[in-house]
Structure 1
Amino acid sequence: MKLIDDLNWRYATKKFSPKRVADNDLEQIIEAINLSASSTGIQPYRLIVIDNPSLKKDLAEGSFNSQIAEASHLLVFAAFASIRKEDISDYMELISKVRETPIEALADFENAISSGLLPQTDTDNFIWSAKQAYIGLGTALIAAAQLKIDSTPMEGFDAGKFDELLGLKEKNLKSVVILALGYRDAENDYLANLKKVRLPLDEFVTKTN
C-alpha cells in the first residue's frame, strides 16, 4: 500500500531547504483539508495560508521553532472561539444551495445542531472546534506525505501573537495548531536519515472478538 510507504517516509522536519512548494501542490493539500471529516459537517475552524517571508519571520520571533520562518508555507488552523446562531444559519444556507434543498426542509437538522451547541459555553465549543481542526491537521499531514512534501505540526507557538498579527479575534477565531510545509534539508536535519520509531503493532493495537 503506497500510503503506508508515504507515512513511513514522513517525519517532523526540523530543518527546511529554501525550495518552495508549487502552487498546484499547495492547492491539493488545501482541498484535502477542506474535505476532511467534520462533526455534522459544520467545519468550525478556518485555515490561514501564509507564504509572506516577513510575516513568517514576525510570527517566529521568540519561538524555538525555526520552521515557522524557514518553511515554504505555514498553515494556521484557527478554531471558532464560540459557536454563534449565525454560524449555524450560514451552514444551513450552504447546504440548501449545494444540495438544492429548500431551507425549510432543514429545520429539524438546524434545531438538532442548535440544541447541541448553543447551550454550551464558549470554552466548551472552542475545545470542540479545536478538536475538529486537528482532524484537518491529520488530513494535511497525509496529503503532504503523498505529494512528498515535508511538514512539521507545531503546538509550541505564541497563539496570542498569531491571533493578533493575523487579526483572528475580529473573525471569532483562535489559532490552535500550525503546520509548516516545505522540503527537508537532509544534510542539516539530524532527523532526516534516522529510522522512524513506532510501537510494534501487537503492542499498539488490541483486537477484540
Structure 2
Amino acid sequence: MSMLNEALNWRYAAKRMNGQMVPAEKLERILDAIHLAPSSFGLQPYTVLVIDDPALKATIRERAGDQPQITECSHLLVFAAWDPVEETHVDELIHRIASERDMDPTDLAGYRDMIKGTLRQRTPDQNVEWAARQAYIGLGTVLSAAALELVDASPMEGFDPVALDAVLGLRDRGLHGVVLVALGYRDTSTDWLAGMKKVRWPRERTIQPVG
C-alpha cells in the first residue's frame, strides 16, 4: 500500500478534537498543498481563510450547528468562493502568466478570450457555483495533505452561509463561504467515531472500467 493510501485509510472526519496545536511547519505544508491545487483554467477562484482565534471560532461554532471540533481544532479553514467571478480576474491571471513565464501578454489573447467567453455563457450565480466546485478541488487536496502529515482534517458544510459571511465580512471582500475544514488532532476518549472501521462501498461499485 502506498504512503498516500495508508494515510487515507488512517484519516476520518474527526468529530471531537483535543485542542492540540498543529506545528507551524506541518500547517505550512498543508496550506502550500492547497495553494498548489489544480483548478479550471488555473484561475483558482476562491480564497482560504485560516482562523486560530478562539473567540472567532466560538462565534462561528454558534452559526455552524454547535459542532465542537470548530472550537477544539487547532486551525479552522474557511473555503470562500469568489462572488462575483469577474473578467478582471481573468486579466490579472493573464498578466501573471505572462510575467511568470516571460511571455508577451498579447500571445495569450486567445486563452484570455476563451476564459472570458466561458464566463459570459453562464449567469453570475452559475459562475459562483463553478467557483465553489473549484474550491472543493482544494478541499480534496487539503484532506490528502493533512492525512500525509497525520493531522486530522474534518470537512463541514453544516453552517449558516449567510451568517458566516456576515461574521467574517466576506460579502465586502467579494467572497462567499462554501465549506469549512477543522485541522487538529482527534480526541479518542470522546469521539464516538474514533477507532471504528472505515466503511466504503465495494471497490467494484465505485471503480468501474469501461470497454
What 5-or-longer segments of structure 1 have no aligned partner?
A: none
What 5-or-longer segments of structure 2 have no aligned partner?
A: none
- Residues 8-157 of structure 1 correspond to what in structure 2 (within 5 A)? 8-62=9-63, 63-157=65-159
| CA-CA distance at 1:80 after TM superposition | 1.2
3-state secondary structure, aligned to 2:67: coil
| CA-CA distance at 1:204 after TM superposition | 2.2
| C-alpha distance after superposition, 1:129-161 (max 9, x if no partner) | 000000000000000000000011000012112
3-state secondary structure, aligned to 1:208: coil
| CA-CA distance at 1:24 after TM superposition | 1.0
8 A Cα contact 1:16 1:71, kept in partner? yes
Q: How far apart are the structure 2 equivalents of 1:206 and 1:112?
A: 33
Length, aligned pairs only: 209
Q: How far apart are the structure 2 equivalents of 1:179 and 1:79?
A: 15
Q: How far apart are the structure 2 equivalents of 1:64 and 1:51?
A: 17
8 A Cα contact 1:83 1:118, kept in partner? no
Cα RMSD for the two superposed structures: 1.1
TM-score under structure 2 length normalisation? 0.96
Q: How far apart are the structure 2 equivalents of 1:119 and 1:190?
A: 47
Q: How far apart are the structure 2 equivalents of 1:168 and 1:94?
A: 25
8 A Cα contact 1:88 1:113, kept in partner? yes
3-state secondary structure, aligned to 1:170: helix
Structure 1 match to 2:199: 197
Q: How far apart are the structure 2 equivalents of 1:5 and 1:92?
A: 39
3-state secondary structure, aligned to 1:178: strand
- 1:6 aligns to 2:7 (yes or no): yes
Q: How far apart are the structure 1 equivalents of 2:28 and 2:114?
A: 34
Structure 1 stretch 95-104 or stretch 178-187: which is displaced more? 95-104
3-state secondary structure, aligned to 1:160: helix
| C-alpha distance after superposition, 1:33-67 (max 9, x if no partner) | 11111001000111100001110001111423111
3-state secondary structure, aligned to 1:165: helix
Q: How far apart are the structure 2 equivalents of 1:160 and 1:89?
A: 29
